[in-house]
Structure 1
Amino acid sequence: MRPTHLCLAVLVAAVWGVNFTVIEIGLDHFPPLLFSALRFLVAALPAVFFVGRPKVAWKWILGVGLALGVAKFGLLFVGMDAGMPAGLSSLVLQIQAVFTALIAFVVLGERPTRIRLLGMAVALCGVGLAAVDEGTGGPLGAFALVIAAAVCWGVSNVLTRKASPPDSLNFMVWVSTVPVLPLLLLSLLTEGPSADLAALRALDWQGAGVILYVAWVTTVFGFGAWGRLLRRHPASTVAPFSLLVPVFGMSSAALFLGEPVSGLRWCAAALLVGGVALTSLAPASGKAATASPRSARVRLPDAPPRDRAEEPA
């Protein structure tokens, strides 16, 4: 990998990691479901008019849009609004790699190797340790919502794998059109029109900047840059950089939000990141071993699927 591409990969991981801190700031300005709807609205418009027609069937766009946009991000934003810290969210959400592998086994018949099974066990130990740490100072219900978001992310990863989009940016922009109306409807039903209107009327430069960051920087730039890297390099070369996301997430939350990072949480981080690395990067077996080069190139890691993982938020 050339130095410029190396720097780009690290930059994307940093952008996605800092995104959790930006989300935490945004939740001070917007109800969580409205915030998520605005994220996808701004990510889709006006980009949808410039990326061309969808390059995969609409069933995949709708499926990923509902699983990733409505379920995963809706649960993540609600969980963080309920008290899940930004840094811990960036870490715990990485368990999606384990759920992706499990769902791929059930749906696609991709049998995990022993190394991947070991990685899943290590990652689950990390999540358990993080739950113990969170249980001493935060709501476990919010923790559970982020775990549920990781499950939904796993579902969207498998759908994305089935869709095999040839252009990741085109795919994500069209996917971003799907969650807007469902999230707005859920916001009106659960958060109330008065809360939504009050948030929109109180919109200031900080609130607008947060929306632009989570929409254009993390989604449009992040996916576009990651897709470019995956077109030029093997997935096994690019994917490890996504493991830097929780490092940047926890560090930025500690720096900008003053979130404490206990020794127990660092141990949980080491176990979870190590387990995800084994799960995502170990050689595949069964059907996965015969996957075509094309399907390997289009996997993205938040906000994009790596060897079985997508964007961290």
Structure 2
Amino acid sequence: MLLKMPMSLRSALPALFAALLFGASTPLAKLLGADMPPFLLAGVLYLGSGLGLAVLLCIRYWMPSSTKNPPALWTIPAPEWPWLLAAIGFGGVLGPVLLLVGLRSTEAASASLLLNVEGVFTAWIAWVVFKENADRHIVWGMVAIVAGGVLLSWQPAQVSLSSGALFIMAACLCWALDNNLTRKVSANDGMLVACLKGLVAGTLNTSLGLLSGDTLPANGVLGAAVLLGFASYGLSLTLFVVSLRLLGSSRTGAYFSVAPLFGVILSMLLWPGQLPPMFWPAAALMALGVWLHLHERHIHLHTHTPMEHTHHHRHDEHHQHVHDFVWDVNKPHAHTHRHGLLTHFHHHYPDIHHRHSHVED
């Protein structure tokens, strides 16, 4: 069924589902917020994501299959560890700390508006620092999605900027760096990458919360927070890493920026009432942005340089190699494989096989 979808929609689905799961975390975490301090709650959510994914990884490891669990899938190559540790440091540790410091002196409405800066920072770093290509569809799509996010959280009577705004913007910059750094390790197993980020960031944040005097809540609330972290952080982050592999940082960040829209919809289901005044214009702008991204057509003659890596793949035009094991040609499989020099012309995204430079005409 998925193979019959247009490539643009098939590639966008992981990011959109990641946004859906993460967007749900805001209203659901609000149900837990009265029983857990913010810093401790953030730590438990991350820890829940890491623990839940660790269980899934163990289950997958013991599944009988000769091609589903090659040894290379269970390791991060040594040259990529600095990228992963830097991503965890910026996004899992420093970002939440800066956000919490900023929230102490910033109105909630202003904070919601400022959080939209993450998508802008992510795209800017991807385009300027990592030279990820972007055409007019991508740029205007990002503008429409961010504008929709601004309208969704806009409350003129309550907006006021304080010194805390700088801390919130710094947190957004940390998460944008996290997004782009994680892209460097996205060829690895997405669940493994997300599990490591959750375990390290969750352990550090939870420990800092407890050391600062916070106490764990009753088992029922704690268990609910762990489950929420597993779904809204763990599964979401796994899909986010997969999307980085398929689309690159700026496009993934744009799709992920629609998460607040899903959060508002779930909030209205949990607490029925009047929609925010700008909900429908915001939804229309976000839908326009997603539509522009789905209709991107990036086509040019490009050359693939030789490379070797491990990931799940099918034998498409980029994967033509022989095996020393039996495999089902109708299913994706994983093993270490090498790509040779290849020059061709087709529609593509800045995925793990198309991270090449672009010469301006």
Structure 2-normalised TM-score? 0.59
In the other structure, the counterpart of 1:63 is 86
In the other structure, the counterpart of 2:320 is none
Q: For residues 350 and 264 of structure 2, what CA distance do their matches in structure 1 show?
A: 23
In the other structure, the counterpart of 1:54 is 75
In the other structure, the counterpart of 2:108 is 84
The correspondence of residues 1-313 of structure 1 with structure 2, limited to 5 A, is: 1-2=1-2, 14-45=20-51, 47-48=53-54, 50=58, 53-56=74-77, 57-75=80-98, 84=108, 89=112, 93=115, 96-130=118-152, 133-137=154-158, 148-184=170-206, 186-187=208-209, 192-193=212-213, 196-197=214-215, 200=216, 202-214=217-229, 216-224=230-238, 245-257=259-271, 260-272=274-286, 274-275=288-289, 278=292, 282-283=296-297
In the other structure, the counterpart of 1:301 is none
Q: Alpha-carbon deviation of 1:115?
A: 3.0
Q: Please, which runs of 5 or more residues in structure 2 have no aligned partner?
A: 62-72, 313-348, 352-361
Q: In the superposition, relative to structure 1, how do residues 271 and 11 fare at CA in structure 2: closer, same or farther (>3 Å)? A: closer
Q: Alpha-carbon deviation of 1:256?
A: 1.7
Q: Alpha-carbon deviation of 1:290?
A: 6.7
Cα deviation digits, residues 9-34 of structure 1 (max 9, x gap): 68665433322111222322212121
Which has the larger helix fraction? 1
Q: Alpha-carbon deviation of 1:68?
A: 1.9
Secondary structure of the residue aligned to 1:179 is: helix
In the other structure, the counterpart of 1:302 is none
Q: In the superposition, relative to structure 1, how do residues 182 and 110 fare at CA in structure 2: closer, same or farther (>3 Å)? A: same
Secondary structure of the residue aligned to 2:218 is: coil
User: What amino acid is aligned across from residue 224 of structure 2 in structure 1?
Assistant: G
Q: For residues 79 and 294 of structure 1, what CA distance do their matches in structure 2 show?
A: 43
Secondary structure of the residue aligned to 2:268 is: helix
Q: In the superposition, relative to structure 1, how do residues 162 and 170 fare at CA in structure 2: closer, same or farther (>3 Å)? A: same
Q: For residues 144 and 259 of structure 1, what CA distance do their matches in structure 2 show?
A: 33
Q: For residues 166 and 24 of structure 1, what CA distance do their matches in structure 2 show?
A: 33
User: What amino acid is aligned across from residue 76 of structure 2 in structure 1?
Assistant: K
Cα deviation digits, residues 78-111 of structure 1 (max 9, x gap): 77797637xx95x975653432221012211234
Q: Alpha-carbon deviation of 1:170?
A: 0.5
Q: Is the 8 A contact 1:93 1:150 kept in 2?
A: yes
Q: Alpha-carbon deviation of 1:158?
A: 1.0
Q: Please, which runs of 5 or more residues in structure 1 have no aligned partner?
A: 299-306
Q: Alpha-carbon deviation of 1:173?
A: 0.5
Secondary structure of the residue aligned to 1:134 is: coil
User: What amino acid is aligned across from residue 108 of structure 1 in structure 2?
Assistant: F
Q: Is the 8 A contact 1:126 1:272 kept in 2?
A: yes
Q: Is the 8 A contact 2:21 2:233 kept in 1?
A: no
Q: In the superposition, relative to structure 1, how do residues 206 and 38 fare at CA in structure 2: closer, same or farther (>3 Å)? A: closer
Q: For residues 201 and 26 of structure 2, what CA distance do their matches in structure 1 show?
A: 20
RMSD of aligned Cα (Å): 4.7
Q: Is the 8 A contact 1:48 1:173 kept in 2?
A: yes
Q: In the superposition, relative to structure 1, how do residues 308 and 210 fare at CA in structure 2: closer, same or farther (>3 Å)? A: farther
**Max Rg structure:** 2
Q: What percent of counterpart residues are identical?
A: 25
Q: In the superposition, relative to structure 1, how do residues 69 and 230 fare at CA in structure 2: closer, same or farther (>3 Å)? A: closer
User: What amino acid is aligned across from residue 251 of structure 1 in structure 2?
Assistant: I
Structure 1-normalised TM-score? 0.66
Cα deviation digits, residues 109-139 of structure 1 (max 9, x gap): 23432333333443454455456x2332466
Of structures 1 and 2, the one with the larger relative CO (CA 8 A, separation 6+) is 1
Cα deviation digits, residues 29-88 of structure 1 (max 9, x gap): 212121111222233237548377432432122111112212344455677797637xx9
